[in-house]
Structure 1
Amino acid sequence: MTTRGYNNYNSLIIRTLNKISVFNKCRKDFFCEVVILLLSIKGRVNFLQLGRFGNFKEQRYRQQFEKPFPWLDFNKELTLSHGGSRFVIAFDPSYINKSGKKTPGVGWYWSGCAGQSKWGLEIGGLAAIDLDNHTAFHLEAVQTLIEDKQATSLTDWYVNVIKERKETLSSISKYLVADAWFSKKPFVDQIIGMDMHLISRLRDDADLKYLYLGPPTGKRGRPSKYAGKVITENIDTNYFELIEQNQEATVYSAIVYSKALKRNIRLVHVTYTSDKGKQIRKLYFSTDTQMDALEILDCYQSRFQIEFLYRDAKQYTGLNDSQARSENKLNFQFNAALTAINIAKVEHWLSQPKEARKPFSMTDIKTMNHNRLLLQRFIDVFGVNAYSAKNRNHVNELIYYGTIAA
């Protein structure tokens, strides 16, 4: 993990903003200030805390959070400029804590962490999964507002979120990866209609059929299309192609017909073997029947990187801490918290050679920036020349104080 000054954050943000939009200096400086504070303040990150630690009054932050910001364009530019060459788009909803009854969109939403529905808010997060660096870049978070926007169902709402941004998303990747909840015909059909493909996982007891590949029987009636049901516990190894086999897993793949999706899919059948010898079977698929089986597996397994974005943003950059009840202010805080993770990742982790990288640690980044924030306050008050050759080592020692992987 490398230490970086606030000037590095400012330079990265301003370079990216200059490529995508025309913001005045006041707006650029404000955005830089917010990102630095999100990466520096320990504890809750809300308007009150921003006013305490920042250069502006609390009311200024409230007013500026109401203004729109091109999150998708900003994060796309950041992703393509600093990421690898292979991406897949990930979509995943996430529960946000929120009490009260007056906030737009508040209601009962599923919390995967709690394993039950809880009262609060929900965001639908879009991220670019970098397959080369095995990490995720946040693109945009959109609050779920079914009742306010009169959407007919959650599925339709999620599809509309993707459809409204399909041009930008398609310029990054034509593949969308989502968890097993999204392996439904209404969702799949609309994703295909956007000229994109879905990578997901089926139920363990999914109803699948072999395709009939034999010659015509010569009998009257429609030619045979299917050759029996796929028994996932005992697949036909003459039909399925063995892709990979090792001590941990056995991977087979074939094109089969899905009764639930009513289309042919590329199925990846994986049998995992635990240390105790227990076998667990999982069914992954892509609507692109020509896609490589191991690439499907890699894309779906890399999907979990979006969960680390949510985890880091909730623990370190205030994703759960908004005091606002305005839809615009909430949107700004959700996206600012997740975008701050992108900026920290680019500056502290992706800037290093791949072979020299240690695990990405937001704990260390937050500690270093918090130390720097306090140290800068002492320097300003006491008028110390902290960056002279004599004092530089002492300053770096104080910045690293309390880090885990220093």
Structure 2
Amino acid sequence: MAVVTTAVRSGLLFPLFLLSIDASFQRKSGTKTQNIGSFWNGSTGRSERGTELSCCALINVQMRQVFPIHAQQTRPKKECRDRLVQYNDQLDAVLGELEHHPEILLRAVVADGQYAKDLFVETVTGHGFALISKLQRNANLNYVYDGPDQQRRGPKRKHDGKVTFADLSRFDVVNESAAERILTQVVWGVRWKRLLRVVVIQVLDHHGQVIKYAVLFSTDITMSASEVVALYRSRFEIEYVFRDGKQFLGLQDAQMRTQQALESHWNLTLLVMNLARLEALRANNGAQTLVFGVEDLKRRAYNALFAQVILVNLGLEARFEELIANPSGPLNFGLKAA
């Protein structure tokens, strides 16, 4: 949190953020590690034996810079209550902590479909924020009746039929291209007893036929469909946290066995990532054009070390500063274009 607030106060980031939550499988051998068990591994598409890290991260809305702020270990179901309850408790604690940081403006909480449950809707809306997530295709939704009042006894009519995603003629088309069509409507979520902004993203083939679709929702019905789609797609920035942490910072290369030690290792690793991103922001004078990756950061550090070794052996170490200031960027050799 200190890294994020420092970036905001120094003007390197705009203060508008999303909060994202997701879990990551951590490879772990042996049998004595605390809370080791069977967890879903998205890389292999099956459950495997290991540990699981549940992470909350702040994602800057304008610049899509992501900062993990809390990581904890998930306990197996045989040792503890349902995992969704653990995720919800973590999210509740993080949202409570963010209330003490008024410089951070939270627009919404974004999460994938496994978090589209009663617990999370109640927790997020209870803190006064919107939840953006994905619905199942069999979600129980009703159209809202907006016709004239019927002259009959009893309560007023509220609903006007069930939503079926095979027939979206009553949805409004907000954007359409050769490959994609986006439709939206405000409907009634039967399970949660609240109005939802539902957005359907249809993927089209070259004949204009729907080959697949996804259903997003926001508990804030004043959000536009384009905003819901843009904010949900920003959620994928948290996946780069797990990728860079595992590939370049040793996130899952831990020999400790206790939950406290594992969580300390994870949070320290993610702190290093945040500090590296802050340093990149400062070097770039802001986030407008920054494309950050730990791989590029390590590549540039290696280039600098290699250049220093060469110059020292040639007796030209005083000219190292010229490499840094060179417009052609020789220390950026090997960096990715995006």
User: What TM-score bracket applies, with the shorter chain setting the length?
Assistant: 0.7 to 0.9
Q: What residue is the counterpart of 1:145 in the other structure? A: 75
**2:176 maps to 1:248:** no
Structure 2 gap segments, 5+ residues each: none
Deviation, structure 1 residue 319: 0.6
Summarize deviations over 1:137-175 as a string: whole Å, max 9, x none. 221211113569x64211111111011222333543151
Deviation, structure 1 residue 374: 7.1
Q: What residue is the counterpart of 1:202 in the other structure? A: 135
Cα distance in 1 for partners of 2:247, 2:232 equals 25
Which one of the candidate residues 92, 102, 108 is aligned to 2:22?
Answer: 92
Change (3 A) 1:359 1:194: closer
Q: What residue is the counterpart of 2:188 in the other structure? A: 257
Q: Is the 8 A contact 1:386 1:395 kept in 2?
A: no
Which one of the candidate residues 34, 47, 50 is aligned to 1:104?
Answer: 34
Change (3 A) 1:305 1:147: same
- The answer to which structure has the higher helix fraction is 1
User: RCO higher in 1 or 2 (8 Å CA, sep ≥ 6)?
Assistant: 1
Change (3 A) 1:118 1:75: farther
Cα distance in 2 for partners of 1:79, 1:392 equals 26
Aligned length: 327
Q: What residue is the counterpart of 1:318 in the other structure? A: 250
Q: Is the 8 A contact 2:244 2:293 kept in 1?
A: no
Which one of the candidate residues 121, 129, 147 is aligned to 2:59?
Answer: 129
Q: Is the 8 A contact 1:316 1:362 kept in 2?
A: yes
Q: What residue is the counterpart of 1:181 in the other structure? A: 114
1:323 aligned partner, one-letter code: Q
Summarize deviations over 1:42-83 as a string: whole Å, max 9, x none. xxxxxxxxxxxxxxxxxxxxxxxxxxxxxxx33432453432
Q: What residue is the counterpart of 1:77 in the other structure? A: 5
Which one of the candidate residues 200, 221, 229 is aligned to 2:162?
Answer: 229
Which one of the candidate residues 268, 273, 288 is aligned to 2:204?
Answer: 273
1:76 aligned partner, one-letter code: V
Structure 1 gap segments, 5+ residues each: 1-72
Give the RMSD, CA atoms, in angstroms.
3.1
**2:47 maps to 1:156:** no
Q: What residue is the counterpart of 2:279 in the other structure? A: 347
**2:227 maps to 1:299:** no
Change (3 A) 1:351 1:242: farther
Deviation, structure 1 residue 339: 2.5
Identity, in percent, stands at 28
Q: What residue is the counterpart of 1:337 in the other structure? A: 269
Cα distance in 2 for partners of 1:193, 1:356 equals 33
Q: Is the 8 A contact 1:85 1:132 kept in 2?
A: no
Cα distance in 2 for partners of 1:304, 1:122 equals 18
Q: Is the 8 A contact 1:185 1:262 kept in 2?
A: no
**2:49 maps to 1:119:** yes
Q: What residue is the counterpart of 1:367 in the other structure? A: 299
Cα distance in 1 for partners of 2:286, 2:294 equals 18
Change (3 A) 1:100 1:79: farther
Deviation, structure 1 residue 226: 0.7
Cα distance in 2 for partners of 1:299, 1:336 equals 28
Q: In structure 1, the residue corresponding to 2:20 is in which secondary structure?
A: strand
Q: What residue is the counterpart of 1:213 in the other structure? A: 146
Cα distance in 2 for partners of 1:225, 1:365 equals 56
Q: Is the 8 A contact 1:75 1:139 kept in 2?
A: no
